[in-house]
Amino acid sequence: MYRKLIDKVIASNDLDKLKQIAELEIDTIDILKEYSKKDYKSIETDLYEIVEGKVITKEMAIDWVESMKPKAKWTYDEIESLKKSYDIDMPTTVIYVIMNMLYILICKIVLVMELLKIVYKDILKVQKIGTMMLI
């Protein structure tokens, strides 16, 4: 029912009613923020894209990178300096996010490889012990 009512208000172009709906939406999103951070972030991102387009701001990039685990390697200023040094024609925010994502991905790959070495060594020990028991 709410969709039909909202569609009716949109079709009417009644600015006062549109503002009232916007206020209801704001209240609803505020409530959602308290109960589901994930859903709130998703809606916040959708709203941002509607208003600003698909652009990563410096603040968004820094928040995103600071939430990465393990900890990111490069600061925004370091990436900005790197970009200038190599005359890279790409937004600093994009380079900053990508470089740190790649660094973290490589760290995770190295960790998995180290774990595989440990597991593989243990498998070889078990095989050697089993072979000795057969002799």
14 lies in which domain range?
1-54
The reply to whether 80 falls in a domain is no
Q: How many CB atoms lie within 10 A of CB 76?
A: 18
The reply to whether 44 falls in a domain is yes
How many Å apart are CA 100 and CA 61, to the nearest integer?
Answer: 10
Give the pLDDT confidence score for residue 104 in this predicted structure: 93
Spatial contact of 93 and 60, defined as CB atoms under 8 Å apart: yes
**pTM value surpassing 0.85:** no
Spatial contact of 56 and 94, defined as CB atoms under 8 Å apart: yes
- Cα-based distances in Å from 86 to 3, 80, 99, 112: 51, 10, 14, 32
Give the pLDDT confidence score for residue 71 in this predicted structure: 86
| 11: its two tokens | 């079709």
Give the pLDDT confidence score for residue 69 in this predicted structure: 86
116-126 per-position pLDDT tens digit: 888 877 776 66
The reply to whether 24 falls in a domain is yes
29-56 per-position pLDDT tens digit: 999 889 988 888 888 888 888 988 888 8
The reply to whether 123 falls in a domain is no
10-28 per-position pLDDT tens digit: 899 999 999 998 999 999 9
Q: State the amino acid at position 87 in one-letter form.
A: D
The reply to whether 25 falls in a domain is yes
Give the pLDDT confidence score for residue 103 in this predicted structure: 94
How many Å apart are CA 100 and CA 65, to the nearest integer?
Answer: 7
Give the pLDDT confidence score for residue 11 in this predicted structure: 92
